[in-house]
């Protein structure tokens, strides 16, 4: 018998709902929030208000696109953390009320686990090859940068992470310095395609082990641009493509450098990239080259599953549903990453 899982995601600035039939995505509706673009980052209070406005139409559309009735749902999975508290409360309260009314299991999902497990969700027409356990997963998003050894769906070993900014934050901050809108990652990615990645050099941190750091890179980028603007006030406009390509190159180099270190320590054959920054075309290409060179199999999520979306919440919920892991109506959202 097929299981229909509704996933609800509201941890940051995207309100999303998705219906899965087992691991097949029947719908994945994402309402972004344009309101933050002029602030150069997410404004938490504005995010919660936008979630309130979006949540009912988004869930309604997800059910309609999936062509199923709410009474056919087997369970409701929702993001319980980490994220912004006000944003999480909107999704979690809605999920609890809906599960209670429909008398179906409520399943809490960790946002970071969901990014990792997104690779197991399939579009109806495309079945990508699946990684075999154990695999290495690099999650690079706006809030997190972490390398995990994934032994099983819910057995993930933390190998290393960032000691300051996340990779996505580095993209967003660089974009802000260049006067580009938030989120800056996709804009830099696009501009970088026509730029020279070796035109400008920025500081890359060399920490021991599998730790990452991006704050030095951000500062070196900020000072460089500031100094150049003193000489030429049109410096950014005249060099925008090369600046984007060079800062993107520096971020990718530091991620690739640590991946090589991880390959020396762990012989997992399968490698997964996850999180919003895994949409970056330069990073995807660099990871393809690296994994070819080291004879590893790279698994990349489809682009719509890289940034925040509810299909990844639903697929994570599905695997918990199979294990009968239900949540209590009194589960409270959490804001910081938990050990997963
Ligand atoms: O996973 P995500 O949607 O949210 C978090 O859980 O943080 O990631 C959002 C981050 C933002 O920092 C955004 O700039 C970055 O992912 N991002 C990209 C690209 N698309 C999204 N960064 C670089 N290149 C992209 N194409
Ligand atoms: Zn995320």
Tens of pLDDT, residues 271-326: 999 999 999 999 999 999 999 999 999 999 999 999 999 999 999 999 999 999 99
pLDDT of residue 340: 65
Angle between helices 235-265 and 215-231 (to 10 degrees): 160
DSSP state letter for 338: P
Ligand 1 geometric centre to CA of 110 (Å): 18
Atom of ligand 1 minimally distant from the CA of 275: 1
The model carries a pTM of 0.96
180 ligand 1 Cβ < 6 A = no
The one-digit pLDDT tens for each residue of the chain (340 residues) are 899 999 999 999 899 999 999 999 999 999 988 888 778 778 899 999 999 999 999 999 999 999 999 999 999 999 999 999 999 999 999 999 999 999 999 999 999 999 999 999 999 888 788 999 999 999 999 999 999 999 999 999 999 999 999 999 999 999 999 999 989 999 999 999 999 999 999 989 989 999 999 999 999 999 999 999 999 999 999 999 999 999 999 999 999 999 999 999 999 999 999 999 999 999 999 999 999 999 999 999 999 999 999 999 999 999 999 999 999 999 999 999 887 6
Query: Cα separation of 219 and 19, whole Å?
Result: 42
Query: Cα separation of 130 and 122, whole Å?
Result: 10
Sign for the CA dihedral angle at 215, 221, 224, 230 comes to negative
81 ligand 1 Cβ < 6 A = no
Ligand 1 geometric centre to CA of 329 (Å): 31
pLDDT of residue 41: 79
Q: Max CA-CA distance within the chain? A: 69
Ligand 2 geometric centre to CA of 141 (Å): 6
Query: Cα separation of 198 and 176, whole Å?
Result: 21
pLDDT of residue 33: 82
pLDDT of residue 35: 83
82 ligand 1 Cβ < 6 A = no
168 ligand 1 Cβ < 6 A = yes
Ligand 1 geometric centre to CA of 258 (Å): 20
Q: Among 183, 254, 285, 308, which residue has the most ligand 1 atoms within 8 Å of its CB, making it the best to mutate?
A: 183
Burial of 3 (0-12, 13-18, 19+ CB in 10 A): middle
83 ligand 1 Cβ < 6 A = no
């Amino acid at each position: 018998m097929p299981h229909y899982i509704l996933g609800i995601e509201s941890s940051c600035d995207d309100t999303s709902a998705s219906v899965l039939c087992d691991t097949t995505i029947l719908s994945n509706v994402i309402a972004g929030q344009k309101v933050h673009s002029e602030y150069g980052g997410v404004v938490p209070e504005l995010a919660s208000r936008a979630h309130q406005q979006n949540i009912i139409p988004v869930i309604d559309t997800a059910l309609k696109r999936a062509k199923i009735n709410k009474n056919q749902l087997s369970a409701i999975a929702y993001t319980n953390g980490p994220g912004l508290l006000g944003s999480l409360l909107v999704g979690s309260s809605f999920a609890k009320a809906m599960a209670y009314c429909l008398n179906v299991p409520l399943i809490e999902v960790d946002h970071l686990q969901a990014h990792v497990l997104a690779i197991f969700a399939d579009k109806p027409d495309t079945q990508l090859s699946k990684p075999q356990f154990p695999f290495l997963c690099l999650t690079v998003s706006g809030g997190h940068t972490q390398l995990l050894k994934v032994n099983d769906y819910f057995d993930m070993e933390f190998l290393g992470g960032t000691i300051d900014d996340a990779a996505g934050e580095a993209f967003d901050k660089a974009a802000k310095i260049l006067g580009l809108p938030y989120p800056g990652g996709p804009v830099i990615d696009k501009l970088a395609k026509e730029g020279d990645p070796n035109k400008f050099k920025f500081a890359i941190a060399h920490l021991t082990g599998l730790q990452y750091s991006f704050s030095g890179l951000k500062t070196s980028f900020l000072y460089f641009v500031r100094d150049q603007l003193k000489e030429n006030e049109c410096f950014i406009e005249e060099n925008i493509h090369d600046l984007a390509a060079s800062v993107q190159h520096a971020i990718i180099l530091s991620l690739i450098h640590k991946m090589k270190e991880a390959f020396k320590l762990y012989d997992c054959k399968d490698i997964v990239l996850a999180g919003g920054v895994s949409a970056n075309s330069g990073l995807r290409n660099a990871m393809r080259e690296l994994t070819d060179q080291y004879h590893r199999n790279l698994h990349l999520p489809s682009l719509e599953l890289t940034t925040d979306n509810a299909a990844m919440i639903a697929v994570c919920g599905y695997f918990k549903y199979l294990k009968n892991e239900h949540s209590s109506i009194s589960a409270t959202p959490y804001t910081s990453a938990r050990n997963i």
